[in-house]
Chain A
Amino acid sequence: MSSDAVVLSALLAAALDGDRQALARLISAAERGATLPPLTPPTDRAEHQLCIGFTGAPGAGKSTLVSALTGHLIAEAGAAAVLAVDPSSPFSRGALLGDRVRMHEHAMDPRVFIRSMATRSETGGLARATQVARRILQACGWGLVLLETVGVGQVELDVVYTADLVVVVLNPGWGDEIQANKAGLMEIADIFVINKADREGLESTRRDIDAVIINRPEHQRPAVVETVASEGKGVKELAKAISLARESLCASGELHRRRQRQFATELEQELLRRFKVSMTQLRQEESYGELVEALASGADTLDGAASRLQKIVLGKIALR
């Protein structure tokens, strides 16, 4: 074993033993792309081994809702982990991660583990890092994972490939967004939450959602739950809806299919990542320049140059 692998195994052993610091460090290593020892995956039957994704526009109240729901769920599940993802700045790659402020009531609860994550890289990167973090958590006894992601751009769609079940958080007065089916959000929902139900426009938003989901077969029609997260209202109902949705996904085999797909996605993404790393290395090398030159001078076709490049890259990946 390499020395890195030794360190990671030791961390995993400690994390499995309940050491939070080791768990936290393991997640950091995963975020940086470290290769982890095998992890025990969740089982479909276990009710409290579930990754619930929450997505919606900034300010919709996701963090507040996740916090309130966590308070509710730990009573039964015994423990819950929260992964709160916010975007990195595309310019500096830095990030301001503020979700913990909303989850303050759990700050000192040993049954709750909260981790803030930045999206860091472009599409796909988030899914990989959160997926690994989720796997680490679940393997280390944190079966219930609540994953908050910001519903902006491509990122929120990745959540489908990470979470077992998706809750889309909307607010009253968002009719236009719903009708425009913003970024496909409406299609990925297993449950809709209309949070800030204390605000005006609740009825029309409900109607807009109904109009969108009416076309789906009844057994696949998402539940719509109204909440006032800041006052804890509707949270019990949401927990109930989640439980029902999980049961139905499990019974239909869809939960199993989704988890298979999660692994497949993870696998493909890992391969793509390796490919990218090799490409980055390759760009520095002479042979790459020669290939480009051959293409530019007309000595080789795109197809021919690409085939040769493919061979070199695959060779590099194999060498790792």
Chain B
Amino acid sequence: MQTPPEDRKWTSASGIPLKSFYLPDDVPEGHRRVLGAAPGEPPFHRGAYATGYRTKPWRIFQLSGFGKPEDENERIKFLLEQGETGFLMEHDRNTADHLYNVDHPEVLARREDVGLTGAVMQSVRDIDICLRDLPIDSTYGHAGGAVVQHAPYALAGYWTVARRRGYDLSRLPGTGQSDYFLTYLGCVTKQQVPTDAGLRLNADIIEFCDQYLPRWVPVSIAGYNGADSGLNAPQELGALFANAVEYLEEIKRRGTMPLAKAARGCGGVSFRMSMDVFEEASKLRAARLMWTQLLAERYDITDPKVSNLRIHCVTAGSRMQYQQPFNNIVRGTLMGLAAALGGVQSLGVSGYDEALSIPSEHAHQMSVRIQQILQEETNIASVTDPLGGSYYIETLTAQLIERAWAFFDEIQAQGGFLACLDSGWLHQQAAENQHQEFMAQADGSQRIIGVTDHTDDVSPFEVDGFMGVDDAFDVALERLEAVRRERHEKGAADAMRALEQACRGDANIMGPMMDALEAEVTLGEIGDIYRQVWGDWSTPIQT
């Protein structure tokens, strides 16, 4: 079923009505003022840096990890050999997201899943194995800890390994994540600290980095996870900045550090890149401008070093289709192109087998190759903001900004970002969009090649899911027992007590967390402390 062109509603993916071409007068009045700004100048919509990719090619940054820590270590080395220029650790999500050890009943019931979505890292020993021979003093690393309650553990583990290797923490490069969108909207876990406890953890991390790890990006808000759960482009923007406001307000309330430094700490974010190439590229331009506006208007921060937003992008996992998976290489390329055109500091392209499993080695290699081809063969690296000045792109950028602020205001009117997560309002917005999208696929107004149309797959290659390794669970259990047997028990118990006390009071928990990791306190024990102190957040269910 195909809608005839005259009946079709031509809109952007988020529903902005589109004209068949654009003229100078279409660019909204207010936006014309900023057209003359160069990249690297406020309000930064044209790019964070004037020389763009000429001097700073985007970092090729792929999520990777499975199995035992040594399996993940090997995969990271493989990716670095292939030309990846930073690395991301992924902790096994079954254990890490929930802060369970592998002998927790919930994990035991699913032992075969252990190690399928990241390597199992239950103590600093495992993290050490995962980082073996990696140049962490000079390479930008992502320590894992995507889920809020897991971040303090993951970061403290990475930092403890660095410290043991004799590196100066104050010079250590890298990033954390502790993302609210993932934790409370996208991948809601079975057990999770409540949103206000999470805010406290994130603010503690921001403070701690300010004091001891100035080169580390403490948290990274990932609009990606909101968007891949259904939020459209302006909603992703509006919600992301509403999230940033929560962090900044908390730091302001504490008054423990200069707000501008906290803003700098929150200014490394990630967005999703989906298939509407021009809307997605415009979204990144809109994001940079909005951050500049937000900081200037709400917090009176105008230092360009703070107000230039740095952006990581990941191509939409949900756009990678199960059917005819090689088509996904093309999709990855186009979404990667959108990111490159909009201006990014780093990029991850999802594996073509995303809808089937975690990436196989070949899928991972393709994700890297796609980016290398974009960087080396297409010449897009030569000129910064190549879309700038296009009547269409500038109009779309301005329209996204307008709609995004409206969404931001709607969130504020309901008590802010956390309140909208607690009430389920954001979930509802996301679910409505997804529902509409499914309906659009069913009625033929949205077409997906290989899925809704051209479904005959005569590819001679069957792509099956990558299954990782068989022994992740067994080895993890052995190692857990070894840690319990070999560690200095009194030291561990003292560290746990101190950590619990910190959790119950309002001192920064990162110091005691570092001590706990040093004393080989395990992941599950830290989880038990959290659960004791804070209880659970439960998903708002829409009925």
Contacts and interface: CB of A to CB of B under 8 A. Distances in A.
Interface string A53-69: 00000110000100000
Interface in A54-110: 58-59, 64, 86-87, 95-98, 101-102
A231 B532 CA distance: 10
Contact of B194 (A64, A230, A232): A230
A196 to B, nearest CB: 10
B341 to A, nearest CB: 41
Contacts of B536: 230
Contact of A97 (B194, B424, B543): B543
Contacts of B535: 230-232
B173 interface: no
B372 interface: no
Interface string B404-426: 00000000000000000001100
B541 A98 contact: yes
B189 to A, nearest CB: 13
B538 A95 contact: no
A190 to B, nearest CB: 26
Contacts of B508: none
Interface in B517-543: 535-536, 538-543
Contacts of A231: 535
Contact of B543 (A64, A86, A102, A230): A86
A102 B543 CA distance: 14
Interface string B178-213: 000000000000000010000000000000000000
B539 A101 contact: yes
Nearest to B534: A231
A95 B542 CA distance: 11
Contacts of A232: 535
B194 A96 contact: no
Contacts of A102: 538
A59 B424 contact: yes
Nearest to B540: A59
Given A230-B536, A231-B535, A98 B543 contact: yes
A14 B542 CA distance: 36
B543 A96 contact: yes
Interface string A210-254: 000000000000000000001110000000000000000000000
Contacts of B424: 59
A166 to B, nearest CB: 22
A87 to B, nearest CB: 7
Contacts of A64: 538
A299 to B, nearest CB: 51
Given A59-B423, A59-B424, A101 B538 contact: yes
Nearest to B194: A230
Contacts of B540: 59
Given A59-B423, A230-B194, A96 B538 contact: no
A316 B535 CA distance: 58
Nearest to B190: A104
A194 to B, nearest CB: 17
A96 B542 contact: yes
Nearest to A64: B538
Nearest to A150: B543
A231 B194 CA distance: 11
Contacts of A59: 423-424, 540
A96 B424 CA distance: 15
Contacts of A96: 541-543
B129 to A, nearest CB: 34
Nearest to B533: A231
Interface in B485-543: 535-536, 538-543
A259 B538 CA distance: 36
Interface in B46-94: none
B500 to A, nearest CB: 16
A94 to B, nearest CB: 11
Nearest to A102: B538
Contacts of A101: 538-539, 541
A100 to B, nearest CB: 10
Interface string A141-159: 0000000000000000000
B260 to A, nearest CB: 30
Contacts of A58: 543
A230 B538 contact: yes
Contacts of A230: 194, 535-536, 538
A188 B535 CA distance: 32
Contacts of B539: 101
A219 to B, nearest CB: 37
A64 B194 CA distance: 14
Contacts of A95: 543
Contacts of B543: 58, 86-87, 95-98
A146 to B, nearest CB: 18
Nearest to A86: B543
Contacts of B194: 230
23 contacts: A58-B543, A59-B423, A59-B424, A59-B540, A64-B538, A86-B543, A87-B543, A95-B543, A96-B541, A96-B542, A96-B543, A97-B543, A98-B541, A98-B543, A101-B538, A101-B539, A101-B541, A102-B538, A230-B194, A230-B535, A230-B536, A231-B535, A232-B535
Interface of A: 58-59, 64, 86-87, 95-98, 101-102, 230-232
Given A96-B541, A231-B535, 17 more contacts: A58-B543, A59-B424, A59-B540, A64-B538, A86-B543, A87-B543, A95-B543, A96-B542, A97-B543, A98-B543, A101-B538, A101-B539, A230-B194, A230-B535, A230-B536, A230-B538, A232-B535
Q: What 3 A-B pairs come out closest when comparing CB atoms?
A: A98-B541, A96-B543, A231-B535
